[in-house]
Structure 1
Amino acid sequence: MSNLLFICSKNQWRSPTAELLFKDHPIHTARSAGTSDKARIKVSQKIIDWADVIFVMEGKHRDIIRQRFNFADQTIIVLDMADDYQFGDAELIDILKLSLADYLQK
């Protein structure tokens, strides 16, 4: 089982939508967090340590977490998802499903 972490800025729309795709997944567990001080759930060293794979919505999120936190062997993947979507947006879900197909199908 892999622990998947999704990170965006405020943890309102993109990362919680990605997390929701893995609800009740047989192999992966997912959580989400944000880099902003105004994030619903703020990224922390504890959640970074929990994660096996970290997906960030934009390159700036990768840069922020690399500056703030220590990493073990986690893979960081930039999804290049612009902040143009609301939570649960159908287009966002379609794009995430394509980007995360290798993880969703297992």
Structure 2
Amino acid sequence: MQKILFICSANRLRSPTGEQVFSQYPNLEVSSAGLNHDAVDPLTPEHLLGVDTIFLMEKAHRTKLSKKFKAHLKSARIICLNIPDEFEYMDETLITILKARVTPHLR
């Protein structure tokens, strides 16, 4: 079972879409969180437990993640998807981009 985590800023649009889309895939345990303090589900160290791969939506998220959670990242692969904050939740274009950019990193 591969454990993956999607992270964006507010956990309202992009990362929950990733969670929803990939939670349907077999052999994946999928969750999502946001880096902002006012996110729907703010990132905590518990989100990072046992995570194999972290998918970030923007380069700026890598800096913020490392700054706040470096001690909890362990051996997780961190991959930036370079998806701007311009999509609605479950937007068809967003889903297409997510599938194209995430699937090559899945076991």
Give the alignment of 1:14-93 within 5 angstroms. 14-69=14-69, 70=71, 71-93=73-95
Instruction: Output the TM-score relative to the length of structure 1.
Output: 0.92
Residue-by-residue CA offset, 1:59-86 (whole Å, 9 max, x unaligned): 1111111001122101000000000001
Q: Which amino acid aligns with 2:38?
A: K
Q: Which amino acid aligns with 2:20?
A: L
Question: Which range moved further: 62-71 or 95-104?
Answer: 95-104
**CA RMSD for the aligned pairs?**
1.3
Partner Cα separation in structure 1 for residue 102 and residue 79 of structure 2: 10
Q: Gapped runs of 5+ residues in structure 2?
A: none
Number of residue pairs aligned between Structure 1 and Structure 2? 105
Question: Which range moved further: 93-102 or 81-90?
Answer: 93-102
List, as ranges, runs of 4+ consecutive aligned residues in structure 1 with deviation greater than 3 Å.
none
Q: Quote the sequence identity (%).
A: 35
Partner Cα separation in structure 2 for residue 94 and residue 84 of structure 1: 14
User: Post-superposition shift, 1:49?
Assistant: 2.1
Partner Cα separation in structure 2 for residue 19 and residue 56 of structure 1: 12
SS in 2 for 1:39: coil
Partner Cα separation in structure 2 for residue 60 and residue 103 of structure 1: 21
User: Post-superposition shift, 1:103?
Assistant: 5.0
Partner Cα separation in structure 1 for residue 54 and residue 34 of structure 2: 12
Residue-by-residue CA offset, 1:30-65 (whole Å, 9 max, x unaligned): 100000111000111111123110000001111111
SS in 1 for 2:17: helix
Taking structure 1 as reference, are residues 12 and 96 closer, same or farther at Cα in structure 2, changes over 3 Å only? same
